[in-house]
Amino acid sequence: VCEFEPGAIVSDACASYNTLEQLNDAIHPYLHSITQKTDFFSYYRLSLYSKKCPFWDDENGMCGNVACAVNTLENEEEIPLVWRAKELGKLEGPTAQHPGKKQQRERKEKPLQGSLGEGVAEDCVVEYDDECDERDYCIPEDESATAKGDYVSLVDNPERFTGYAGVGAQQVWGAIYRENCFSKPPKDDGPQSSFQSSPLGGSSSNSFGNPQQLQAANQLRNVMQQQGLQAGVKSAIAQGTAAGSLTPVEFDDTCLEKRVFYRVISGMHASINTHLCYDYLNQTTGQWGPNLSCYEARLHGFPDRISNIYFNYALIMRAVGKLTKHVQDYSFCSEDPVEDTRTKNMVLRLASAIPSGPEIFDETIMFQDPDTLSLKEDFRNRFRNVSRVMDCVGCDKCRLWGKLQTNGYGTALKVLFEFDEHDSSNDPPLRRTELVALLNTMDRLSHSLNAIKEFRTMIDERDGVP
Ligand code: FAD
């Protein structure tokens, strides 16, 4: 029996939902332990406050609720060794760059003066914000010892309801969805979004402060609604991905790659909203818990959004599975070899539980056509813009998790499209923040699947369905 509304389903969608749910049941405990119980994966360093929104003045969209705040770690002693700037600083040096695997091999054969010290793994070297590899899908989070970064415990700052809403939040979602307008931007909607251009047409004054901006905002909303409608139909076609049956079907002039871009964003949005509905503050009782009407209003009536969460889970899972070899060679750098081995084994156990190859998600069918080469570049630049928009989120906690998850998806796309599963010699470097974001994003999706299952049970119980 199909558990979801017919709108978003193709013939094999039930199988794909079931497959992913079964995998999730098996995988969730590993993921949970990794993200909650290891220092490496439960802390994160990012620029939470130091970057200004590059697209508009965000003063009006700020959330003043207590629930929007993030407790950052100010005291060096509170920060686990593996994340301390002091420790990172130790490894800093003039030649401590990110050599690709090929250069590393060459260096081993013919060491350069001042190359990395004995026993210093590449992964442990300090990372620079502005060292953006051309194959990155995100603007890298700052890991340098000198730059202003904020340390946060992800465990102590869980993603949940904050009360951030209204025009500010809508403006951010609007700007994000606008990155999806590859070839057919809405008319009179300001400049088309492109790398570093403004999603709101270069506006720098207050949100919707004049009629032109209001018009632009309304158009964005229309686009979002239109895309929301189309998604229900489109997802019926692209849905097969999760079952490994995604075929590059042309639909409504939208190619596979563009559909995937939309689904990643919509799935991230749906997953965030699932979490806030699941961990909601009842303002009458002061209790935190699931809010069924929130779920029904935002997700249950939109099967395409739910299917996009499953789609994203499949995509991220495939990326993590593809990293098995990479993790085997990875240095976790905590200076405690026992802890490092434990962390590595946990990640390897997780990766080995994921079916290998295209069974879960087949990325090899994307960007195959020579015509899609420039599309890949466009895809990457647009995703980078999405990561920039995150600096416009007016709620600290939402910004933290928004940035982390964007980084997680960006990392997954990088792994899927730029990494070679069998020969890692030309793989781009993988930053620590990327690996942490990837696994925490997977954990968020895994949590969404569990929450959806619980919400469905609640609905069945309420409606007397046996
Ligand atoms: P919104 O969720 O703001 O959506 C706007 C419009 O987009 C909807 O009206 C609909 O037309 C369309 N839409 C909605 N969902 C989808 C989808 N999945 N796919 C396609 N179209 C869709 N709030 C919290 O309480 N906690 C958080 O941690 C949190 N994190 C956030 C992170 C980011 C990056 C952003 C931008 C917002 C975050 N928010 C968070 C706010 C939250 O996502 C909503 O914006 C807010 O609750 C207001 O919801 P809304 O009902 O107005 O619709």
- Exposed e or buried b for every residue in 398-423, given b needs 16+ CB within 10 A? bbbbbbbbbbbbbbbbbbbbbbebee
Nearest CA to ligand 1 atom 32: 398
Q: Which helix (H) or strand (E) holds 242?
A: none
Nearest CA to ligand 1 atom 53: 170
Partners of 361 in the β-ladder: none
Q: Residue 7 has what pLDDT? A: 35
Most confident of 176-185, 217-226, 363-372: 363-372
Nearest CA to ligand 1 atom 2: 273
Nearest CA to ligand 1 atom 37: 169
pLDDT at residue 325 above 60?
yes
> Given the CA of residue 402, which atom of ligand 1 is nearest to it?
34
Rounded to the nearest angstrom, the distance between the alpha carbon of 107 and the centre of ligand 1 is: 48
pLDDT in tens, 4-63: 333 333 223 333 788 889 999 999 999 999 999 999 999 998 888 888 898 888 676 788
Specify whether the CB–CB gap between 343 and 332 falls below 8 A: yes
pLDDT in tens, 237-292: 233 333 222 222 333 556 778 888 899 999 999 999 999 999 999 989 999 999 99
Q: Residue 388 annotated as binding?
A: no
> Dihedral through CA 395, CA 401, CA 405, CA 408, nearest 10?
130
In this structure, which amino acid lies at residue 223? V
Q: Residue 121 has what pLDDT? A: 52
Distance, CA of 297 to CA of 300 (rounded, Å)? 7
Q: Which is nearest to 205 in space by CA: 62, 56, 59?
A: 56
Q: Residue 444 annotated as binding?
A: no
Q: Residue 391 has what pLDDT? A: 93
pLDDT at residue 184 above 80?
no
Rounded to the nearest angstrom, the distance between the alpha carbon of 272 and the centre of ligand 1 is: 7
> Dihedral through CA 319, CA 134, CA 100, CA 323, nearest 10?
0
Q: Residue 220 has what pLDDT? A: 33
Q: Residue 307 annotated as binding?
A: no
pLDDT at residue 444 above 90?
yes
Q: Report the Cα 98 to chain-centroid distance in Å.
A: 23
pLDDT grade for 148, boundaries at 50, 70 and 90: low
Which among 63, 138, 294, 398 is annotated as catalytic? 398
Q: Is 280 strand, coil or helix?
A: strand
Neighbours of 439 (CB within 10 A): 25
In this structure, which amino acid lies at residue 450? N
In this structure, which amino acid lies at residue 286? G
Q: Report the Cα 32 to chain-centroid distance in Å.
A: 17
Which residues 6+ apart lie within 8 Å of 338 measured at CB? none
Which residues 6+ apart lie within 8 Å of 404 measured at CB? 44, 46, 154, 437, 440, 441
Distance, CA of 297 to CA of 277 (rounded, Å)? 10
Rounded to the nearest angstrom, the distance between the alpha carbon of 121 and the centre of ligand 1 is: 41
Whether ipTM tops 0.90, in short, is yes
As a whole number, the mean pLDDT across the chain is 74
Q: Residue 368 has what pLDDT? A: 82
Neighbours of 91 (CB within 10 A): 17
Q: Residue 173 annotated as binding?
A: yes
Nearest CA to ligand 1 atom 3: 170
Question: Hunting for tokens 């993988």 — which residue is that?
Answer: 430
CB-neighbour burial class of residue 391 (10 A; exposed 0-12, middle 13-18, buried 19+)? buried
395 is catalytic: yes
> Given the CA of residue 398, which atom of ligand 1 is nearest to it?
30
- Which of 264, 269, 389, 399 for a ligand 1 pocket mutation test, highest count of atoms within 8 Å of Cβ? 269
Size of the chain in residues: 466
- CA distances, 298 to each of 17, 165, 174, 274 (Å): 20, 13, 16, 8
Which among 53, 63, 333, 395 is annotated as catalytic? 395
398 is catalytic: yes
Rounded to the nearest angstrom, the distance between the alpha carbon of 264 and the centre of ligand 1 is: 14
User: Largest alpha-carbon pair distance within the chain?
Assistant: 74
User: Which tokens sit at 16?
Assistant: 């794909």
Rounded to the nearest angstrom, the distance between the alpha carbon of 60 and the centre of ligand 1 is: 17
- Which of 63, 272, 407 for a ligand 1 pocket mutation test, highest count of atoms within 8 Å of Cβ? 272
Distance, CA of 112 to CA of 193 (rounded, Å)? 43
Q: Which helix (H) or strand (E) holds 153?
A: strand 150-153
Q: Residue 244 has what pLDDT? A: 28
Can you tell me the mean pLDDT for 304-315? 92
- Cα atoms found within 13 Å of the Cα of residue 366, Cβ hemisphere only: 25
pLDDT grade for 84, boundaries at 50, 70 and 90: confident
Partners of 57 in the β-ladder: 206
Q: Report the Cα 186 to chain-centroid distance in Å.
A: 26
Strands 43-46 and 150-153: antiparallel
pLDDT at residue 450 above 70?
yes
Q: Which is nearest to 355 in space by CA: 450, 242, 261?
A: 242
pLDDT grade for 135, boundaries at 50, 70 and 90: confident
Rounded to the nearest angstrom, the distance between the alpha carbon of 394 and the centre of ligand 1 is: 13
Rounded to the nearest angstrom, the distance between the alpha carbon of 123 and the centre of ligand 1 is: 35
Can you tell me the mean pLDDT for 142-170? 83
Question: Hunting for tokens 């020579």 — which residue is that?
Answer: 370
**Residues with a CB atom less than 6 Å from ligand 1:** 159, 161-162, 164-165, 169-170, 172-173, 224-225, 228, 266, 269-270, 272-273, 276, 298, 305, 393, 397-398, 401-402
